[in-house]
Amino acid sequence: MEKATFAAGCFWGVEATFRNISGVVSTQVGYTGGKLENPTYQDVCTDQTGHAEAVEITYDPSKVAYEDLLKVFWENHDPTQKNRQGPDVGTQYRSAIFYHTPAQEAAARASKEKLERAKVFRRPIATEIVSATNFWRAEEYHQQYLEKRGLASCHIK
C-alpha cells in the first residue's frame, strides 16, 4: 500500500471523490502543511496556521496508479485558484499536492507541466507541489462527512 495526499478545497467532496476509485483502500481528511501541532478545525479556520484541508489516501498501486489519482485531482477542482475553491476562501482551501516519494514528486510535476503546455486551463495553475509533512487527522465528524449525510458530492465543478 502507498499513500497520496491532496488538497483541493473543502475536504468533504475531495474525500468522497477519491473514496469511489477502485484501488483506493481508505481515505481520511485532515490538515497538513502548517506550523501548528495537532490543529483543530477551529484553528485551521482562522487562516493563521498555514494548514490545508487535505485528504490522505491509502491505495494499492497494483490496482490504481498514482498518475490516475493525479488525473482525478486535476479534474475535480479549479487548480488555477490560489487560496479558494468556489465560495470557500483562505489558505486552508488551497490547491496542493503533498508528495511522499521522489517518484510522486516527479509524476506530479510532469502532470502539471503537461496540463500547462496543453493550456487545459485559461489561467496559470496555482497548485503547490510540496513534500508531505505531518498529517493531522480531522475531527471524527468530518470523516466521510457527505456519506454520513446521504449526500453524493459538494463539488463546484
**Which residue ranges make up each domain of the chain?**
2-148
Q: Please state, in angstroms and rounded to a whole number, the distance separating the CA atoms of residues 88 and 117.
A: 28
Cell of residue 60, nine digits: 494499492
The class that CATH gives domain 2-148 is alpha beta
Question: Would you say 79 and 121 are in contact if contact means Cβ atoms under 8 Å apart?
Answer: yes
**Annotated catalytic residue within 4, 10, 14, 44:** 10
Q: Are strands 95-99 and 24-32 parallel, antiparallel or unpaired?
A: unpaired
Q: Is 10 a catalytic residue?
A: yes
pLDDT averaged over every residue in the chain? 93
Question: Would you say 130 and 3 are in contact if contact means Cβ atoms under 8 Å apart?
Answer: no
Give the model confidence (pLDDT) of 97-147 as tens digits.
999 999 999 999 999 999 999 999 999 999 999 999 999 999 988 898 677
Question: Would you say 25 and 58 are in contact if contact means Cβ atoms under 8 Å apart?
Answer: yes
Q: Please state, in angstroms and rounded to a whole number, the distance separating the CA atoms of residues 69 and 35.
A: 27
Q: What is the pLDDT of residue 147?
A: 74
Q: What is the pLDDT of residue 145?
A: 67
